[in-house]
Amino acid sequence: MVSVRLTEGISETLDILKHMDKVYVEKIPLKFIEFLEKNKSKTYVPNIDHSKRLNELNLKKKTKDILFIIYMKYWCKPEEKNIYYSALKVNQIKKEKEARIKYNPDNIFKKQN
């Protein structure tokens, strides 16, 4: 079962794709578009101002996540992918390090000042 947040994010994503240049939409596999159509919200109606730039819109986090996946898999140039994957890896290592410090079993029961 797909969460409500995800179905609403899918609905926003489809609305954005419907207003994009067909050159970009045609790069997305039909099977993926069908998946989005099948899993979109039946009740949520996106209210997107298509006169604004994408980064100016107040999109749901799930919408941003889906658009990032589409960008990385279907629109991004290989050299850009390498840059993004490197940045993602650095961020992941940083978060893991912070979590190790925060939840270190040796320190978790010590009183913090």
Angle at 12 between CA 6 and CA 13, to 5 degrees: 85
pTM: 0.78
Closest alpha carbon to 103 in 90, 89, 95, 93: 95
Place of tokens 């298509």: 50
Quick: pLDDT tens for 59-108. 999 999 999 999 999 999 989 989 988 998 999 999 999 988 888 877 76
Closest alpha carbon to 6 in 35, 47, 49, 26: 35
- Report domain extents, the chain: 4-75, 77-106
Report how far residue 14's alpha carbon sits from residue 10's, in angstroms, rounded to the nearest whole number: 6
Report how far residue 98's alpha carbon sits from residue 90's, in angstroms, rounded to the nearest whole number: 12
